[in-house]
Structure 1
Amino acid sequence: MPHETITVDTAHGRVSGIAEAEFARFQGIPYAAPPTGPNRFGAPVPPRPWSGVLPAHGFGPPAPRPVGGSFDEILSGLDPVPGDGWLNLNVWTPDVTGSSPVLVWIHGGAFLRGSSAGTMYDGAAFAEAGVVLVSFNYRLGVEGFGYVADAPVPANRGLLDQIAALEWVRDNIAGFGGDPDNVTVFGESAGAMSILTLLSLDLGLFHRAIAQSGSAHVVQTAADAALVTGEIALALGVPPTAEGLSGVDTADLVAAQTLVHNLVVGTADAGKYGESTIQTCGMSLVPVVDGDLVRVRPIDAIAAGAGQDVPLVIGTTTEEHRYFVLSQSWEGLPVGAWVQRLAAYGVPDPARFYDQYAEGTTARYPRDTPAEVFSAVMTDRLFRIPSLRVAEARKGHAPTYVYDFGWRTPVPSVGGGALGACHVVELPFVWHTLGASGVDELVADGPVPLADEVNGRWVEFAATGSLESWDEYGDERPVMVFHAERSAVVPDPRGAERALWDGALDPE
C-alpha cells in the first residue's frame, strides 16, 4: 500500500517525505554535492539545484567505511544504498507547519565507521515527543580526516561537512517545522568529540549541546596526522598526495586505512607510534590542529572561554572501555603486560593506578580480572576524566550538566563476563529504540522506563536548555547517575579515583 507523501521546499529544490501517523520523515536529502572528483579532498560545496520533487523516502548512501564487526547493524545500518552522494541528511518532524525544538545527531564510529542509518538511530520517538530530529552523514577515514598536505583542504574535511550540515539546518529547518533559533547538537563517541571541537570554534550554529562519551583532548598534530596518511599511502603503493590518493578506489582506501588503524590501536610498545599523540588517543584518524579551522586543542579553547553561551550536557557510561577490551579474548595476559599497556596510553604511574583501581571492585561493577581493571582505568583515561575536564573548565561560567549512565547490559562479551555499562550501551535508551532490529545483540531486555527517562531528559534539554532536579556542575561535582532502579544526582561519584588524575590530562 503506498504511503501518503508530504512536500517541503528547501534552498536547492522541493523534496517529498513520508507521512506517518504522528510525524513525517524525510531521508537522503543532499546537503552538499558528492565529494568526488575535484571535490574529493576539498571543502563541501552546495548540491546542484534540482527541478521537480526529489523523493526523500529512504536513507541515502553512507560514506565509505568498513562493514561488519560488532553491532554494525545498529551503528551503520542494513544494506547500504550505493552511490557517491554521501553528504546527505534525514529529518523526522512532528509538524512541518510548527516551530519545534531541533535536535541534530552526529554519529560516532572512531571517525572511520558508522552512518546515520544505524537501526537504533530512528528519530520517531523524538518526533513523537515534539522535537524535529536531524541526522546526517559526513566524510570518514582519510577522505574526512586524513592529512593531505597538498590537497585543496589539507585536513578536517569531515568537520567541514558537519558545519555544512548545520548551515543547512540553519537555512532550511523552518520549512520542516523546526525552530532555527533552538538547535541542539548531540552525538556519541567520535560524534561527541566532533561536537566538543565545534563548540570550541564558537561558530554560532547551535544553541545547546550534548556530548556522550567524548573528549575535547583528542586531536592530532599535523605531523602525526601526516604520519598516518603516509602509512596508508604506503600500504596502497601511492604517494601521500591528493593526486596519488585520488586515484585509489574507495574500497581499497578503506581497506588500507583499516589496516593502519588496527596497527596503531594495537601497538602497545614504543615502536613507531609510541611517542606520538596517535597512540595515546587510541584512534588513527581524528581532527587535526591545522592552524586554520582548528588552531588549538578543543579543551584549551574551552578553558579559555569558547562555547560559554552554549548550555552543555556531557557524560559517559560507567564502564566505557569494557566494549573495547572484553570484545576480545585476553586470557593469560599477565598483570605486568596490562600495566605496560596503561603506560603506552599515557597513564601516569601506571602500577599505582592499576593497584588502586583493582581495589575499587564492587558487586555491581566487578573488576575481578586484569582485563577488567585495565578497562576501568582506561574508561577514565579516555572518557570520564576528559569529560570532567570540560565540565571543570566551564564551572561557574557556563551551564553544564554531567551524567553517568550506569545500567549494565547482561549481554556476554567475547572475552568473558557481561559487557556491562559499556561504550554505546546508552544509545538505544537515548533514542528510545530498544525494539529496533539488532539492538537485542547489545541490550537484552533493556528496561523501558529507563528509556522513557533518558529520552525524556534529552527532549527536556532540547526544549528548555535546563534540566529540572539536576544540578549544574559546580564545587560539589553533582552527577546524574542513570540506573534502572532509581536514577539520582550523586555528588562526585567515584571521587577517589577521579582525584588520582589531578594534574594529569589538564589543559596545558
Structure 2
Amino acid sequence: MSILSTSFGSFKGKHADGVIQYLGIPYATLKDQLSCPEIVDAYEELVNATDYGPRAPALDASIFEQQFLIQAVIDVTPSPRMSGTECLNLNITVPSSIGPAKTRKLPVMVFIHGGGYMMGSNYAPYFDPSRLVALSVELGTPVIVVSINYRLAVLGNITSSELRSAGYPGNNALRDQKCAFQWVKSHIEAFGGDAENVTAFGVSAGSVAVLTQLFSTEPLFKRAIAMSGTPMMLKPLSASTAEATYQCIIRALGLQTATVAQRIQRLLTILPEELVEKTPMTAKVAPFLDGDILPEAITFEKLTGGIDSPGTIWCEELMIGDCQHDVRLLGADSATAVLEAYGITSSISDDVALQRAIDLATDILYTAPTRDYACAWPGKKYVYHFNEGNPWEGQFKGMATHMLDAAFLFQNYDEKMGVPGRDVARALAKGFIAFANGNMPWHQFNGVTPNVKVFGGGEVERTVGRTGWDDDRRNTLFRLAEEGKVNLDRLSAAWDDFLAGK
C-alpha cells in the first residue's frame, strides 16, 4: 500500500507492476441523481483508493465488449456496484519508479471510455492503463493516466422542458466530464502530474466526448486524441427528439398520469437496478443541443469551412484515427449510386453483402468524418489508421474492428496474441506516449504532406501519404461526393434512419 498526503487530503493507493494506482477517488458530489456536479476541493478523511469506485447506473459493458467486440476475455473482475450519486470517481495510475514526490511534473493523459453514452466504466480490465504507464517509463518518457467515470444513459442524458424548468439543465454526461478535467487541473500536481500538460483521449463515444469538450470556453486540456469517433458518428439530439425520449422513459416508468413533481421525484430516487431494467433499448438517450455546453452539431458541410470552436485556441494539437472495419436506406437516386459503387446487389451472397455493407457504414460513420475533421483542424494534427486484424476466433477474426485499437493500445491482451500483434500494440502505444509528451509521434498531416501512419495489416507500422486517404482507405464516398452524386450529411442521416428501423 502507498499513502500520499497532500494539502487537500490523504490517499491510500496500491502498488501494481511498476505503477501505483489510486482508484475510485470522488472528483465531484451530487445533490441528487440529476443535479449538476460539484467539484470536490478537499477530503476530510483518508481516502481508501485501493479499489474501484461505484459505476454509473447503466448496462455493464465489460463482458459484452470483450465477448462480442474484442472476442477475447482477460478478466472477470467483479463489477463495482452502481450508484446514481456516488459514481463520479476517477482512477489515477502513476509510475512507481518516479513517484509523486519527485520534482519533475509528468504529462497527464485523461481517458474517457466509450459505450455510446449508454454503458461503460473506468473499471474495465481491458482499459487498465498500468502497462501503458509502465511502457512510458521504459521509453524514458513517463506519463500519468487518469480514467474517469461519468453518468450514462438516463441519468447522464435525459432532459425535458419540465426538468429544465425545475433547475436540471441536462447534458449531465458532458458536465461530469468537464468537471473531471477541472479536478485534474486543480489536483493532479499532488500526484506528480503537470496540470498544464494534459492530453484528453477517448474511444468511440469517448472520442466524440473529447471533441465535444472543445466547445468549452474554459481551457480543459492541451492535446486531444480521438479514437474511432467524431460528432458526426454519434450526433447530438435536437431538443424535440430529447423531449420524445423523455416521454418514452416516463411511459416505461408508468408515470404518464403523474404530476411533474411526482415524475421528477421518481427520477431522483429510482434505484439503479430498476432504472436500468426499465430503460428501453430503443430510447435515444444521448447529449442534446442545449445552446450551452453543446451549442451546435458538427456536420460535413460545416467542416468545409473549418472548425471554429473555442477549443481550437486552447487545444494545441490533435491526433485522430480510425479502424479499418469500424462498423459492427437512402433516397432513391443516391441509394442507387452508393449501392452500385459498393457492389451491393441482389445477386451477391449474404456474406459478401454484409461485408460490403460494413465497408459502407465504416466509410460514412468513421472514415469520412475522420478525414474531414482532420482536414478542418487548424492546428498541428496527426492521423492514424489501425489495420491489424482481430487475432481471436469469432465473427470478426482477421478484421480491424471497432475499439480494437484501444484494446491493443493498453496492451492488456499481450498474453493472448502473437508477437506481430504485440509489436503493433507497442508501436501504437509509443506513438500515443510521444504525443502526450509533446513529441512528434510521426509526420504531421496537412494539405502539403497528408501523411497517415498505418498500424498493422501486414506491417507493424508504415506511412502513407502521397494522396492521403486514397493510399489506405476507400475513396468511394469522396469520389461520389465530388461527382455530386451524394450529399454526405444526407447519407449519414439516412444511415441513422436505417439503424432506427425507418
Q: Tell me the secondary structure at the aligned position of residue 220 of structure 1.
A: coil
The answer to whether 1:432 aligns with 2:411 is: yes
* 1:219-251: CA deviation from partner (whole Å, max 9, x where unpaired): 111111111121122111125853342243322
* Equivalent of 1:320 in 314, 326, 348: 326
Written as runs of structure 1 = structure 2, the 5 A alignment for 1:162-173 is 162-173=177-188
Match of 1:111 in 2: 117
- The range that moved more, 41-50 or 114-123, is 41-50
Q: Tell me the secondary structure at the aligned position of residue 411 of structure 1.
A: coil
Cα distance change on mapping 1:386 and 1:21 into 2, 3 Å: closer
Counterpart Cα distance in 2 of 1:182 and 1:353: 44
Q: Tell me the secondary structure at the aligned position of residue 433 of structure 2.
A: helix
Match of 1:372 in 2: 355
Written as runs of structure 1 = structure 2, the 5 A alignment for 1:33-432 is 33=29, 35=30, 38-47=31-40, 49-67=42-60, 70-71=64-65, 78-82=77-81, 84=83, 85-94=86-95, 95-96=99-100, 97=102, 98-128=104-134, 129=136, 130-151=142-163, 152-217=167-232, 218-239=235-256, 241-261=263-283, 284-298=284-298, 300=302, 303-309=307-313, 310=315, 311-321=317-327, 324=328, 340=329, 343=330, 349-358=334-343, 369-394=352-377, 397-413=378-394, 416=395, 418=397, 420-432=399-411
Counterpart Cα distance in 1 of 2:380 and 2:75: 33
- Amino acid across the alignment from 1:203: E
CA contact (8 A) 2:27 2:180 kept: yes
Counterpart Cα distance in 2 of 1:67 and 1:258: 15
Cα distance change on mapping 1:71 and 1:445 into 2, 3 Å: farther
CA contact (8 A) 1:104 1:185 kept: yes
Aligned length: 443
CA contact (8 A) 2:215 2:293 kept: no
Counterpart Cα distance in 1 of 2:157 and 2:448: 37
Q: Tell me the secondary structure at the aligned position of residue 39 of structure 2.
A: coil
Cα distance change on mapping 1:418 and 1:501 into 2, 3 Å: farther
Counterpart Cα distance in 2 of 1:149 and 1:358: 46
CA contact (8 A) 2:113 2:121 kept: yes
* 1:182-241: CA deviation from partner (whole Å, max 9, x where unpaired): 000000011001011001334311000000011123211111111112112211112585
CA contact (8 A) 2:204 2:228 kept: yes
Counterpart Cα distance in 1 of 2:74 and 2:171: 22
Counterpart Cα distance in 1 of 2:335 and 2:145: 43
Structure 2 residue runs of 5 or longer lacking an equivalent are 68-72, 137-141, 494-502
* Displacement of 1:40: 1.5
* 1:56-101: CA deviation from partner (whole Å, max 9, x where unpaired): 0011111111136623587997312225320000001122123111
CA contact (8 A) 2:57 2:82 kept: no
* Displacement of 1:32: 0.9
* Displacement of 1:376: 0.8
The answer to whether 1:31 aligns with 2:32 is: no
CA contact (8 A) 1:41 1:242 kept: no
* Displacement of 1:478: 2.8
The answer to whether 1:473 aligns with 2:446 is: yes
- Amino acid across the alignment from 2:381: T
* 1:331-387: CA deviation from partner (whole Å, max 9, x where unpaired): xxxxxxxxx3xx2xx89812321222238xxxxxx9951111111111111122122
Instruction: Give TM-score, length-normalised by structure 2.
Output: 0.81
* Displacement of 1:444: 7.8
The answer to whether 1:499 aligns with 2:479 is: yes
Cα distance change on mapping 1:81 and 1:298 into 2, 3 Å: same
Cα distance change on mapping 1:72 and 1:225 into 2, 3 Å: farther
* Displacement of 1:47: 4.0
- Amino acid across the alignment from 2:281: L
- Amino acid across the alignment from 1:16: K
Counterpart Cα distance in 1 of 2:155 and 2:418: 36
CA contact (8 A) 1:105 1:133 kept: yes
* Displacement of 1:484: 5.2
Counterpart Cα distance in 1 of 2:37 and 2:288: 17
* Displacement of 1:46: 3.1
CA contact (8 A) 2:58 2:119 kept: yes
Counterpart Cα distance in 1 of 2:353 and 2:445: 35
* Equivalent of 1:457 in 398, 412, 431: 431
Cα distance change on mapping 1:123 and 1:8 into 2, 3 Å: farther
Counterpart Cα distance in 1 of 2:333 and 2:58: 34
* Displacement of 1:136: 1.0
Counterpart Cα distance in 1 of 2:265 and 2:339: 47
Match of 2:499 in 1: none
CA contact (8 A) 2:117 2:285 kept: yes
RMSD: 3.0
- Amino acid across the alignment from 2:404: V
Q: Tell me the secondary structure at the aligned position of residue 420 of structure 1.
A: coil
Counterpart Cα distance in 2 of 1:8 and 1:320: 44
CA contact (8 A) 1:232 1:260 kept: no
- Amino acid across the alignment from 1:307: G
Structure 1 residue runs of 5 or longer lacking an equivalent are 262-283, 325-339, 360-365
Q: Tell me the secondary structure at the aligned position of residue 447 of structure 1.
A: helix
Q: Tell me the secondary structure at the aligned position of residue 304 of structure 1.
A: coil
